[in-house]
Amino acid sequence: MDKKLSRLKLLLAEVADLQAAHNLLNWDLETYMPPAGAQARGHQLATLDSLCHQKFTSDEVGQLITDLKQELADADADSDEARLLKVIAKDYDRATKMPVEYVARLAQLTVRAHESWARARAESNFALFRPDLEEIIEMRKEYISFFPPKEHPYDTLLDEYEPGMKTTEVQRIFAALRSKQIALLQAITHAEQIDDSFLHLNYPQQQQWDFGIQVASKFGYDWRRGRQDKSVHPFSDSFSINDVRITTRIMEDYLPSALFSTMHEAGHGLYELGINQAYERTPLKGGASMGIHESQSRLWENLVGRSKPFWEYFYPRLQETFPTQLGNVDITSFYRGINKVEPSFIRVEADEATYNLHIMLRLELEIAMIEGSIEIKDLPELWNTKVEEYLGITPPDDAQGVLQDIHWSFAGLGYFSTYTLGNLISAQLWEKIGDAIPDLEEQIRQGEFAVLLDWLRSNIHIHGRKYEPQELLQRATGSGITSAPYLRYLESKYSEIYKL
């Protein structure tokens, strides 16, 4: 067994190296690559992608999995080895069930769809994207057909991003959330509105950058094992457990953009930095799911970064950094300003009280597309109706409506709900952490995050992909995913801010 396991690990370590090279090619593309390098970079990414796939789906890997499954049948089901094999077997099953021809066809379609989507959005003309989207939906259905039937066809798509999650489960969770979030939003929009004009003054780049670095350092970001760069869209990526990088985007006329994106990406980065070093170059290196990953970014960005104790420590420092802009703004006004709620058309700009509503409408439309219960041509209309229902506003055009997100153009149906699941999980963890660390607020007020990070490391980060998300959460909090903590968090926070 030892020999076969070593051989399998060796083969997968090579795949991990190729994956790391692929990620670096992509990181460079987003950060430093000169513009004319794009065409060659496309070839390089495609070659690495296809090599990763070939190497991972080889017959030898398949045979080793089969053999080891038998040999490990009596082993401790919770051992790293047994769990590693389980994760590999599932990945292998997914990767080999897709015919090579299908993968190539999808790649071609999504390249074309990305172009038609970008053009459609630029011209705010859904008709330009519609034929490709229709094909994408058909190909996603074809994808579902490669796997054994599940309770609901959409389950197969969810499972790609949130292993083990079921359509009925996410519908149940979202149903418990929807009416309460809408009610909260309505209460807020009827309350006295917040003035956040001071956030829109001129904030020079370098000081914003330095302040973000200072905050991430306080969180415990280890710059010997990571770095921050600039990119058009902030993201985080990892080329090793000891090389985890984040990016940010600085807007000189809007202070919150860089600051909260640095905290958000640092949350993702801290997760990857905390994974068990023994999982380096194995498929256990990585986050348990998109939802768990998002719970970490949201926890640091929102539960920590938009909290009062956090600013009791950092606000005097921020005022020192920007004396002319913030010298006359007291901490309460600042705290209310960065927590201002306002229904808007664009998901990525949404605040904590409206974000989930954006997600819900996407989930409902995706499920309906996969079920075939709606026609693609009706999508813009259906989109706008839901925006009116949930947010009380009407998109002026499709660019700010159904065409705003890139996800469908890369066939990423199944992805959106993980954003909301991440929000919910962050609040579940937060309640649990509050029990475990009674003086957490006081620690944050002192700019101390080590005990918090420690808790996240030993309960979440260290495990990498060893446990599926629901099991991981059960182990950490004693509960599956539930919306109650997040609702409690929102209601308590906004009741105070908006005096509801």
Interface residues toward its own copies, by CB under 8 A: 13-14, 17-18, 20-22, 24-25, 28, 32-37, 39-41, 43-44, 46-48, 51, 222-227, 229, 239-243, 245, 280-281
Please give the Cα distance from 333 to 55 (Å, whole number).
56
Q: Which amino acid is at 148?
A: P
- Whether residue 143 contacts residue 156, with contact meaning beta carbons closer than 8 Å, is answered with yes
Q: Which of 295, 290, 334, 299 is nearest to 313 (CA)?
A: 334
CB of 34 to its own copies, least distance (A): 5
- Whether residue 228 contacts residue 250, with contact meaning beta carbons closer than 8 Å, is answered with no
Of the pair 161, 235, the CB lying nearest its own copies is at: 235
Three-class SS state of 248: strand
Structure tokens at 259: 């600051």
CB of 8 to its own copies, least distance (A): 16
Structure tokens at 400: 């700010």
Of the pair 32, 146, the CB lying nearest its own copies is at: 32
Of the pair 27, 334, the CB lying nearest its own copies is at: 27
491 is catalytic: no
Of the pair 229, 454, the CB lying nearest its own copies is at: 229
CB of 340 to its own copies, least distance (A): 36
- Whether residue 212 contacts residue 248, with contact meaning beta carbons closer than 8 Å, is answered with yes
Q: Which amino acid is at 467?
A: Y
- Whether residue 321 contacts residue 283, with contact meaning beta carbons closer than 8 Å, is answered with no
Which residue in 162, 169, 265, 301 is the catalytic one? 265
Of the pair 14, 71, the CB lying nearest its own copies is at: 14
Q: Please state whether 164 falls in left (phi above 0), alpha (psi between -120 and 50) or beta.
A: left
CB of 6 to its own copies, least distance (A): 16
Please give the Cα distance from 342 to 375 (Å, whole number).
31
CB of 118 to its own copies, least distance (A): 21
Please give the Cα distance from 321 to 111 (Å, whole number).
44
Structure tokens at 212: 């973000």
Catalytic annotation, residues: 265
